[in-house]
Amino acid sequence: MGHGSVKKGVFVPLGVAALLAGPVVSALAAGSAAAGQAGATEAASGAVSAGVGPSVGGGLSSVSGTPGGVDSMPAGGVVQAPPKDARVSIDAAKQKVTGVFGIRVTPEMTFNYSFMSGAPDGRRRWNLSWQTPPSQGGPGESYNAAVDADSGAILSYQHWKGQDQVFPPTVTREQARQTALDLVKRLQPVESQQIVPWPVQDAVGPQGLMGFAFSFARVQDGVPFPSNGFHVVISPDGQVSSYDFLWSTNVMFPDSKPALGQGQAQATLANTLQVSAHYIPDPSKWVGAAQVRMVYQANVAASTITPGLGYAPAGPMLLDASGARWIDGMGNPVSVPDAPPTTPLMSGGPEVPTFYSQPLDESAAERIARSLSELSTSATLVTSNLNDGGRGQHPTWTFTFTESDNTSVNVGVDAMSGEVVWFNTGRPMPLNATVPESPPAVTPDRARQVAVDFLKRVLPNRLGALAVPNNQPQDGPILFNKSFAAPMAPVGPGIVKPPIAQTYMINAIHLHHGVIDDLSNVSVSVDKTTGQVTNYYARFADDPGMGINYPEGRAKPSEQAREAYLKAIHMTLAYVQLMKPDSAEPGPVRLVYLPVSSAPLSGWDALTGEWIRPFGAEPGGVDLGGIRGHWAERELSALFQAGIMQPVNGKIAPDQPITRGDFVAALMRAVSPYGGPAPDTPSFEDVPSNHPDYPYIEWALQRGWIDAGKQFHPDDPLTRIAMADILVREQGYQDLTKITGIFQNPYSDMSGRSDREMADAAVVTGLGLMRGSDGKFSPDDPASRAQAAVVLYNLLTMHK
């Protein structure tokens, strides 16, 4: 029975029926001891949904092959009719892929193929795609592969299964790694002798682990070349989800001896790296949860290059191994940005305006729009609307004016603060604009000052919370005339060049209590010729009514965060393929030092001192060695590898009590990971929107798994009877527990408890989710994290 639906109490499993009053099945398992720990339960097997989707890349869609489906292919090649000189036929390519990966081709499957040449790696390839139709209302399966048309080498393979993934994982990480390595050796026996492991992150989603990922970088002259290599993902049930192989045959390598030593490279990083504190949306939570974290971020980012996954810039910053020079992915020298400034435009000035109790009326808002935006006195009002932006927005007056030259100007006025929060002139950029022979009439410094003066005029009550970095302005966006519908293309021997940027863009920093606020946005565009402000936008996420709570507290010293980054980033000597300027094509190979990290550096929490990882803790990063031999080792390992349970201060802490909030969060991740939007106003006084378990608790309340009230006590230990009650509701038997006198009491310590509590204990026992010890249920004892893991494990495997 799926966890997405709630049962109505019509069907009662035999285990529950055994506890109903009247004839009782003598095989009742209540009271049995549990592997050396009260509350431990026996585990069964089952499935957990992971929601993995197909892997698709950019490029053109094929029109060749059998009708009924479309395959995807990598960008950078040209689709053409199959040539006669292809050494490997399409039939041979099909046979190789189906044989290696065990694809069982059935009559109902559709098959597509195309031939492509001109790829950056110099290989001609067959692109193949199989698709099974949906069955019983569910999605089908798809297989995509690419095969070298000259050598027969399999270049890529992806398998997407539109069904639940197996839980618990039937393979360990080490077993999955061996499967990946064996596949690489079998498909490329020569190249597999010239590779080294390369750091890569597992495939992780809101529910946790979706696949074990492994990358292997090509080695040339003893130096890794991560622009080439292998990337393999193994599903939790040990199957190959994807395989990618990239090994260029047309590259030249420079001398492998660096002028800069490893120690010098690390010292250069230490001399370069700076950190700054930011408020950011919490990357460990899902959409709909208004969560904010205060983190330290570094001005040097770790490289995200992944062997086997195609050509891409190796990272925003690389250290040239021929000297201590930082370069970008195209080989151009770059200046390492300083940490953003936190000195406001007016030190000690106002940070938040006074807000009205009622929205401004139209006439008052129009006066503000005319006086503070770049309107002429002759502008004519065309339309006006009061828009309720909904959650995360104040009501805003929107005005459209027409100027004497028939151009329109749109202006937005915050109806609660009286501030102009956006406007645009609506003037398109001319298509025939060319690069001027002389510098723009307005210098960057002048444009920056124009923007600063403008902000002082339109946001006088926020000058104590606004800063403008010295590295501003930047070139603004290129705006095209709406009547121009076709893309630019070569014309005769020449090429139509795109118009140049006509504006500067100045991005201001908003500070919340002195910390950089990345949730807010303030930008000003200045015309390079006239020096006029042409566009402006401001949104302040910390204003009242926005529904976002910022975590408060004393941040850890910035030097501590800097040391954490220096320990996490390793300057690694490597060859990288640079990109050609203004092109998606690969360029020359350069010997560099790459900033490499074995963990995703989303940010270092300024309050807790922990690394933040997408969707919570990285499954592969959990140290399971500390629970070896524990009575719940199997269940704990499965739950932590799947990302359903999360560490406490980096530790599994199996015998520590689990909190009420953490159990609800783990339950939600296990059975309903895509919870939906959280409410504008927290439902419990003690669970604000910045509490780590906030969205899970709100979603559990929406589903009726917990009771409403003023307090939830999320950080209190969860009692065993409270855990039983939550499980009964999740299973949909809450109506059954309201009927009095129908359950027998198999536990000596449940005498005198309420009918509901006795029913809760009976139902979870009958379902096999929880059991007592020595004839006792121990209802008021706190449930340990190990007990919770066993309960969740049983919940996920009970229907297998």
pLDDT digits (tens, 9 = 90+) for 741-753: 777 778 999 988 8
Task: Report the alpha-carbon distance of residue 589 to residue 720 in Å, rounded.
Answer: 61
Lowest mean pLDDT among 596-605, 648-657, 754-763: 596-605
Contacts 24+ apart (CB under 8 A), 214-220: 214/176, 214/177, 214/180, 214/181, 215/306, 215/307, 215/308, 216/181, 216/184, 216/192, 216/307, 216/308, 217/307, 217/574, 218/191, 218/194, 218/247, 218/307, 219/194, 219/195, 220/194, 220/253, 220/256, 220/575
Which residues face 80 on adjacent strands?
115
Token pair in block for residue 436 = 């001027």
pLDDT at 571 (0 to 100): 95
Task: Name the more confident of 714 and 303.
Answer: 714
- Percent share of the chain, pLDDT over 70: 79
The SS3 of residue 736 is helix
- Reported residue count of the chain is 800
Helix crossing, 660-671 with 694-702: angle to 10°?
70
* First CA to last CA distance, the chain: 9
Task: Report the alpha-carbon distance of residue 529 to residue 378 in Å, rounded.
Answer: 23
**pLDDT tens digits for range 302-357:** 888 889 887 666 667 899 999 889 998 888 898 888 888 889 999 999 999 999 99
Would you place residue 498 in the very low, low, confident or very high pLDDT band (cuts 50, 70, 90)?
very low
Q: Give ∠ CA 690-664-6 in degrees, rounded to 5.
A: 125
**pLDDT tens digits for range 68-95:** 333 334 445 666 677 778 899 999 999 9
Task: Report the alpha-carbon distance of residue 16 to residue 12 in Å, rounded.
Answer: 6
pLDDT at 553 (0 to 100): 85
**Residue 340 is which amino acid?**
P
Helix crossing, 720-730 with 660-671: angle to 10°?
30
Task: Name the more confident of 64 and 203.
Answer: 203
Other beta carbons less than 10 A from residue 283's beta carbon:
16
CA 779 to chain CA centroid, Å, is 39
Average pLDDT over every residue of 574-600: 85
Would you place residue 504 in the very low, low, confident or very high pLDDT band (cuts 50, 70, 90)?
very high
Q: Give ∠ CA 653-657-662 in degrees, rounded to 5.
A: 85
pLDDT above 90 (res 631):
yes
Task: Report the alpha-carbon distance of residue 666 to residue 785 in Å, rounded.
Answer: 11
Contacts 24+ apart (CB under 8 A), 597-601: 597/199, 597/302, 597/568, 597/569, 597/570, 598/199, 598/568, 599/201, 599/568, 600/201, 601/298, 601/301, 601/302, 601/565, 601/568, 601/569
Task: Report the alpha-carbon distance of residue 724 to residue 9 in Å, rounded.
Answer: 17
- Percent share of the chain, pLDDT over 90: 49
Task: Report the alpha-carbon distance of residue 590 to residue 226 in Å, rounded.
Answer: 12
Would you place residue 623 in the very low, low, confident or very high pLDDT band (cuts 50, 70, 90)?
confident
Is 398 exposed, middle or buried, given 0-12, 13-18 or 19+ CB atoms closer than 10 A?
middle
pLDDT at 166 (0 to 100): 64
Task: Report the alpha-carbon distance of residue 242 to residue 210 in Å, rounded.
Answer: 12
Place of tokens 């081709």: 105
Average pLDDT over every residue of 661-666: 94
Token pair in block for residue 104 = 């069982």
Residue 155: closest CA among 182, 131, 187, 130: 187
**pLDDT tens digits for range 419-472:** 999 988 865 544 444 555 578 899 999 999 999 999 999 999 999 999 999 888
Task: Report the alpha-carbon distance of residue 758 to residue 570 in Å, rounded.
Answer: 57
8-state DSSP, 723: H
Residue 538: closest CA among 496, 500, 575, 508: 508
Task: Name the more confident of 690 and 492.
Answer: 690
Q: Is there a contact between 551 and 293 (Cβ–Cβ < 8 Å)? A: yes
**pLDDT tens digits for range 189-209:** 999 999 999 998 877 665 567
Which residues face 573 on adjacent strands?
593
E strands present in 235-379:
240-246, 275-281, 292-298, 318-320, 325-327
Token pair in block for residue 156 = 């890529």
Lowest mean pLDDT among 322-326, 376-380, 486-490, 563-567: 486-490
Token pair in block for residue 718 = 């969860």
Token pair in block for residue 129 = 């795609």
Average pLDDT over every residue of 760-777: 92
Lowest mean pLDDT among 7-16, 134-143, 539-548, 780-789: 7-16
Q: Given its phi and psi angles, is residue 119 left (phi above 0), alpha (psi -120 to 50 degrees) or beta?
A: beta
**pLDDT tens digits for range 257-293:** 999 999 999 999 999 999 999 999 877 665 445 578 8
pLDDT above 80 (res 496):
no
Dihedral pair phi/psi, residue 188, rounded to 5°? -135, 75
Contacts 24+ apart (CB under 8 A), 328-335: 329/576, 329/578, 329/579, 330/578, 330/579, 330/580, 330/581, 330/587, 331/578, 331/587, 331/588, 331/590, 332/581
> Can you give the C-alpha Rg of the chain in angstroms?
31
pLDDT above 80 (res 164):
no
Task: Report the alpha-carbon distance of residue 715 to residue 635 in Å, rounded.
Answer: 23
8-state DSSP, 749: G
pLDDT at 472 (0 to 100): 85
Would you place residue 734 in the very low, low, confident or very high pLDDT band (cuts 50, 70, 90)?
confident
Task: Report the alpha-carbon distance of residue 723 to residue 711 in Å, rounded.
Answer: 17
Task: Report the alpha-carbon distance of residue 736 to residue 757 in Å, rounded.
Answer: 12
Task: Report the alpha-carbon distance of residue 231 to residue 225 in Å, rounded.
Answer: 13
Mean pLDDT of the chain, nearest integer? 81
Token pair in block for residue 259 = 């002028």
Which residues face 276 on adjacent strands?
297
Q: Give ∠ CA 327-332-338 in degrees, rounded to 5.
A: 50
Q: Is there a contact between 579 and 586 (Cβ–Cβ < 8 Å)? A: yes
Q: What is the DSSP string of 185-240?
A: HHH-TTGGGGEEEE----EEETTEEEEEEEEEEEEETTEEEEEEEEEEEE-TTS-E
